[in-house]
Amino acid sequence: MPEDDFRKRARHIPFAREGLPYVSAAAFTTLVSAVSHWHPLTVILLATTLLMVHFFRDPVRWSNAGEGDVVCPADGRIIAVERRKETCFTNREMWKISIFMNIFNVHVNRVPVSGRVAGLHYRKGRFLAADRKRASLENEQNWLWIQSDDGRDVVLTQVAGLIARRIVCWPRVGDAVRRGERFGMIRFGSRVDLYIPLEGEVLVAKGQKVFAGETVLCRLK
């Protein structure tokens, strides 16, 4: 996909485009139910429509991140900070920061560092609960390798989960990406694993609530 097309997909509206089919279907069935005077069903369908709008919201994000800062790629909660070998692209030990996204978090994912996409890899897999350790190894996932403007390797993995079974990633190999911009989403939440160089100073801890494009996870020295 040409870089301009990637940015058109990521251009901001307060609602993720990938949610439009879900919201449209829910709204249409709500309308049919209302016209047919099926009042109890209409109430349920209206609530479903509003939930879909909430699930696929895409708010503006601002960050005061400085030079060398790595921002969070996903909304959610930190479930692991550990040293692990990144096996898809770099094949070396790195800091691994795992973020669990529940279905009520914003689903849109954002670029952690400015640079260029050096690699992409999609792998089919299972759909275990995303907060389990085995999910990083066995679940369906999409790997994105970014070489930062200062030559650092940063790798992130969008991991499908028990409910989330649709991973979206817009950029392609060779595309330039900017820190904090949208690059994709995982429908109905799940998990993102971020691999950063060991020389980086980790600034978050397990259990911490984080926000995509805003929270600084690490400072690269």
pLDDT tens string 163-185 = 655 788 999 999 999 999 999 98
Residue 103 above 70 pLDDT? Answer: yes
Together in a domain, 122 and 198: yes
Domain co-membership, 28 together with 115? no
Domain assignment present for 23: yes
State whether 117 and 198 are in the same domain: yes
Residue 3 reports pLDDT greater than 70: no
At 46 the three-state DSSP class reads: helix
137 within domain boundaries: yes
> Would residue 5 count as lying in a domain?
no
Is the pLDDT score of 196 beyond 50?
Answer: yes
From 160, 221, 154, 166, select the one nearest 194 (Cα to Cα): 154
pLDDT number for residue 8? 55
pTM of the model: 0.80
Residue 139 in any domain: the answer is yes
Q: Are residues 35 and 140 in the same domain?
A: no
Total count of domains within the chain? 2
d(CA 48, CA 208): 29
- Domain-embedded: residue 63: no
Please check whether residue 183 is in contact with residue 170, taking contact to mean a CB–CB distance below 8 angstroms: yes
**Closest C-alpha to 197, from 159, 151, 143:** 151
Same structural domain for residues 51 and 75?
A: no
Domain residues for the domain of 90 are: 69-219
Question: Which CATH number is 132's domain given?
Answer: 2.70.70.10
My answer on whether 154 and 89 are in the same domain is yes
Q: Which two three-digit tokens encode residue 127? A: 């759909």
Name the pLDDT band for 202 (thresholds 50, 70, 90): very high
d(CA 118, CA 33): 49
Cβ atoms of 129 and 188 within 8 Å: the answer is no
Say if residue 32 is in the same domain as residue 99. Answer: no
Active site residues: 190
Angle at 28 between CA 23 and CA 29, to 5 degrees: 105
Tell me, yes or no, whether 2 lies in a domain: no
Residues 30 and 106 in one domain: no
Same domain, 83 and 32: no
**pLDDT tens digits, residue range 30-62?**
888 888 889 888 888 888 888 777 777 788 888
